[in-house]
Structure 1
Amino acid sequence: MTINAFDTHIPDAEAVIAALALEPHMEGGFYRRTFQSDHHAMVEINGGKRHLMTSIYYLLTKDSPIGHFHLNQSDIVHYYHLGNPIQYSLIFPDGTLNTVVMGSDVIAGQCLQLHVPGGVWKASQLMNGLAEYGLISEAVSPGFDFADMEMGSRQKLGVQFPEHAELVGKLTQG
């Protein structure tokens, strides 16, 4: 446990991972599916049938501070919960780069919610702060399936978005 200037106890990353039963995620960080819409009919998409909606916890830590570039087919709404701010880099199909910081300092322009449309390349980075982690949730519709996710490669994204080659190099696994 650490204590900030307001004498508020901040649990460490391991305690949060254990309390929320999180597991490592292939894009980096940790996650756990918390919801899928089992009481609704499945939705038919190009890749097959999907739940109407799914939701997860997603945690970045000082030891796993990057959610590497990846593309999802479904729309995702992110909800900031606690810990350090998380910076998102979004590359749209036309090459437009949008950088958004999720965090609790809404006066400074940080967002509590972030919508990322399907088909947008997304990466996230843990920023500095009092905690050693940042925790969000994601609601995905149609529901998330790993078959609808593509991990970015430096080569592919570097060719597709040469203007963002440095960022791509920093936020891809290979």
Structure 2
Amino acid sequence: MNQKSEHYWVEQLELIPHPEGGFFKSVSQPAEIYHIKEGYERPLYTSIYFLLNDESPSHFHRLKSDEVWYFHAGDPLTVHMLHHNGHYNQVKLGDTLENNETLQFTVPKGVIFGSSVEDQGSYSLVSCMVSPGFDYEDFELFTQAELLKDYPQHELIIKKLAFEILPD
């Protein structure tokens, strides 16, 4: 199989750094607006290309909308989730279904999550669709200290996928 490099995808798709980690490009947003409540409107959905590598994971964050992840190319990617009740679980996106990988997965709104690829030199290209549509006002990044206060039992994954200090 002829696997393209991560640099190929970054260049061809014109991806730029994302504040949570990885590289992205917004690719779809309809004209329709979803009226959630007075003063709170969002596009019906938004969609991005998103590329993560072993040096740049998606750091722990939370959205106010569901986010559907679609695997496209590269290596398997793990979505790590911290739930309100303290439960941690993970889902592996990839195209090797016999290894319990899945081609798509929906992260429920309100769940704290981050994503990573494991092996040195590996990357994963996915698309992420958010409905109602993404807005940075609905995006919350977390520090290690914030998460360790509520989820001390998950220290290893928090230290791997949460910022010590939030980026500017």
What TM-score results when the alignment is normalised by the length of structure 2?
Answer: 0.91
Match of 1:153 in 2: 143
What does 1:3-82 align with in structure 2 at a 5 Å threshold?
A: 8-38=1-31, 40-45=32-37, 48-64=40-56, 66-82=57-73
Structure 1: tracts of 5 or more residues without a match: 1-7
Q: Is the 8 A contact 1:47 1:148 kept in 2?
A: no
Establish whether residue 114 from structure 1 lines up as the match of residue 82 from structure 2.
Answer: no
Q: Distance in 2 between matches of 1:85 and 1:61?
A: 10
CA-CA distance at 1:45 after TM superposition: 4.7
Which among 81, 96, 104 is matched to residue 87 of structure 2? 96
Q: Is the 8 A contact 1:12 1:132 kept in 2?
A: no
Match of 2:160 in 1: 170
Task: Tell me which amino acid in the other structure corresponds to 1:136.
Answer: V
Q: Percent identity?
A: 34
CA-CA distance at 1:99 after TM superposition: 1.0
Task: Tell me which amino acid in the other structure corresponds to 1:30.
Answer: F
Match of 2:96 in 1: 105
Q: Distance in 1 between matches of 2:8 and 2:141?
A: 29
CA-CA distance at 1:41 after TM superposition: 3.0
Residues 45 and 140 of structure 1, relative CA distance in 2, 3 Å threshold = farther
Q: Distance in 1 between matches of 2:131 and 2:96?
A: 27
User: Number of paired residues?
Assistant: 164
Residues 72 and 45 of structure 1, relative CA distance in 2, 3 Å threshold = farther
Q: Is the 8 A contact 2:54 2:116 kept in 1?
A: no
Q: Distance in 2 between matches of 1:68 and 1:46?
A: 31
Q: Distance in 1 between matches of 2:89 and 2:153?
A: 13
Structure 2: tracts of 5 or more residues without a match: none
Q: Distance in 1 between matches of 2:79 and 2:134?
A: 19
CA-CA distance at 1:11 after TM superposition: 2.0
CA-CA distance at 1:80 after TM superposition: 0.5
Runs of 4+ in 1 over 4 A off after TM superposition: none
Match of 2:127 in 1: 137
Cα-Cα RMSD: 1.7
Task: Tell me which amino acid in the other structure corresponds to 1:35.
Answer: S
Give secondary structure in 2 for the equivalent of 1:166: helix
What TM-score results when the alignment is normalised by the length of structure 1?
Answer: 0.88
Q: Distance in 2 between matches of 1:106 and 1:29?
A: 25
Task: Tell me which amino acid in the other structure corresponds to 2:40.
Answer: G
